[in-house]
Amino acid sequence: MGERRRPTIKTVAARAGVGRTTVSRVINGSTLVSDEAKAAVLSAIAELGYVPNSVARGLVTSRTNSIALVIPESESRLGSEPYFAAVIRGVSTGLADTRTQLQLVLVRDKGERDQLTDSVAERRVDGVLLVSVHEHDPLPSLLEGLGLPTVLAGRRSAAESLSHAYSDNLGGAAVAVRHLLARGRTAIATIAGPLDMDVGRARLQGWRDALAEVGRGVDERLVAAADFTEEGGRRAMRSLLERAPELDAVFVASDVMAAGAMLELHSQGRRIPDDVAVVGFDDSFIARHTDPPLTSVRQPVEEIGSTIARILLAEIADADAPREQVMLPTELIVRSSS
């Protein structure tokens, strides 16, 4: 007969009739558990002889000197979007003078989210940096409920409770649209990012605000939302041209989507910027290699990465450290696309 397998959180959850998250919360002393559920979990732990790795190693009150950078996106998105690489560089810079190890974790489905929950419950990391958050993403609240220091790059909404750092998305978008207005453009469209993300909503609101400043009513035919991919930007541009062929400018909420929009404009014989001016957002390396080079709103992505690393280290060192909300400035970089 083989050696009996050591019970896991999954085993405890099944015996207690609760979810893994509930088991994790009980292990970590969270108050977000009913007395009944807590009793069931403790009983299952006793029956199974379950001991968390962190307890077995005597690490309950010490550190692993390791943090997780969690990105809830696919490998293809991670590889095609310069934003993620810049955040990782920034985080690495923020950790350079420490002995903290960085683990990169992709969470693409529920199974991988459960694995992350197990890792957090076992205290295999001291804290989490979470990138690319959507409004209803369960991960931030899950991590907060487990009592693990967690800092976001971006935020779920303006009411975000966790520490975070983000760019002035609204202000940067407004500056981009003011630039197009100053160039004499009269039918300025926008390709927004996903509207279940604060960054998508904020950049769309900046477009609206800049038009309102000059008394322009919003023509909803000039609004299309996409998914921060090149193909998404191209589809959105095609849709805008079908609905509003008279448009003479477009503010696009990311450089990747702007590159797709420019491909569509070229394919339909629209000259840039003569017929349609284009402004993107990010000022990534993509902006310098489009045809023509792309005017773009520069956001300090590497600084966001180093900032969230600094905040997380402070929260790991002091559980009572005040939470921080840091907004970093943006800057319009003008090139020949507008």
Q: Could you give the number of structural domains in the chain?
A: 3
Average pLDDT over residues 76-85: 81
Asked if the structure places residue 28 within a domain, the reply is: yes
Task: Quote the mean pLDDT of the chain.
Answer: 88
Q: Are residues 47 and 94 in the same domain?
A: no
Highest mean pLDDT among 10-14, 44-48, 177-181: 177-181
Is residue 60 predicted with pLDDT exceeding 90?
Answer: no
pLDDT of residue 27: 72
Rounded to the nearest 10 degrees, the angle between the axes of helix 301-317 and helix 82-95 is 40
276 vs 126, residue with greater confidence: 276
Domain of residue 323, CATH code: 3.40.50.2300
In the predicted model, is pLDDT for residue 4 greater than 80?
no
Q: What is the pTM of this model?
A: 0.81
pLDDT at 1: 40
**What per-residue confidence (pLDDT) applies to 196?**
94
Name the residue type at position 301: V
Domain contains 57: no
Which domain range does residue 29 map to?
A: 9-51
Q: Average of pLDDT values for 129-150?
A: 86
Residue 238 in this model has a pLDDT that exceeds 60:
yes
Say if residue 30's pLDDT is above 70: no
Whether pLDDT at 237 is above 70: yes
Q: For residue 35, what is the domain's CATH number?
A: 1.10.260.40
Examine the domain organization and report whether 113 and 228 are in the same domain: no
Q: Are residues 277 and 309 in the same domain?
A: no
**Rounded distance between C-alpha atoms, residue 196 and residue 228, angstroms:** 12
Across residues 70-96, what is the average pLDDT?
A: 86
| Whether pLDDT at 85 is above 70 | yes
What is the bridge-based pairing of β-strands 188-192 and 163-167?
A: unpaired
Residue 189 lies in a domain: yes
- 309/292 same-domain check: no
The answer to whether residues 52 and 202 touch, using CB atoms and an 8 Å cutoff, is no
% of the chain at pLDDT higher than 70: 92
Q: What is the pLDDT of residue 2?
A: 45
Name the phi and psi angles at 51, rounded to 5. -130, 120
According to the model, what pLDDT value does residue 112 have?
73
Statement to judge: residues 92 and 23 lie in one domain = no
Say if 60 falls within a structural domain.
Answer: no
Residue 325's SS3 state is: strand
Residue 113 lies in a domain: yes
Bridge partners, 262 (sequence order) = none
pLDDT exceeds 50 at position 3: no
- pLDDT tens readout for residues 161-210: 999 999 999 999 999 999 999 999 999 999 999 999 999 999 999 999 99
Whether residues 74 and 156 share a domain: the answer is yes
The answer to whether residues 103 and 248 belong to one domain is no
263 and 223 belong to one structural domain: yes
- pLDDT over 80 (residue 212): yes
Pairing of β 101-106 and β 188-192: unpaired
Q: According to the model, what pLDDT value does residue 291 have?
A: 96
Query: What one-character DSSP code corresponds to residue 47?
Result: H
Is 1 among the domain residues? no
pLDDT of residue 29: 64
Lowest mean pLDDT among 56-70, 94-108, 111-125: 56-70
CA–CA separation, 11 and 313 (whole Å): 33
Residue 217 has pLDDT above 70, yes or no: yes
The two three-digit tokens of residue 201, written as one number: 């909503």
H or E element in which residue 68 lies: strand 66-71
Of 153, 170, 192, which Cα lies nearest the Cα of 305?
153
The predicted pLDDT at position 53 comes to: 55
- Split at pLDDT 50, 70, 90, the class of 73 is confident
3-state secondary structure 162-227: CEEEEECHHHHHHHHHHHHHHCCCCCEEEEECCCCCHHHHHHHHHHHHHHHHCCCCCCHHHEEECC
Q: Are residues 33 and 86 in the same domain?
A: no
User: Region 242-249: what's the mean pLDDT?
Assistant: 97
Nearest to 204 by CA among 225, 187, 232: 225
- Residue 2 belongs to a domain: no
176 and 274 belong to one structural domain: yes
pLDDT at res. 51: 65
311 and 224 within one domain: no
- Return the pLDDT at 125: 87
In a domain, 4, yes or no: no
Same domain, 181 and 282: yes
On whether the CB atoms of residues 132 and 86 are closer than 8 A, the answer is no
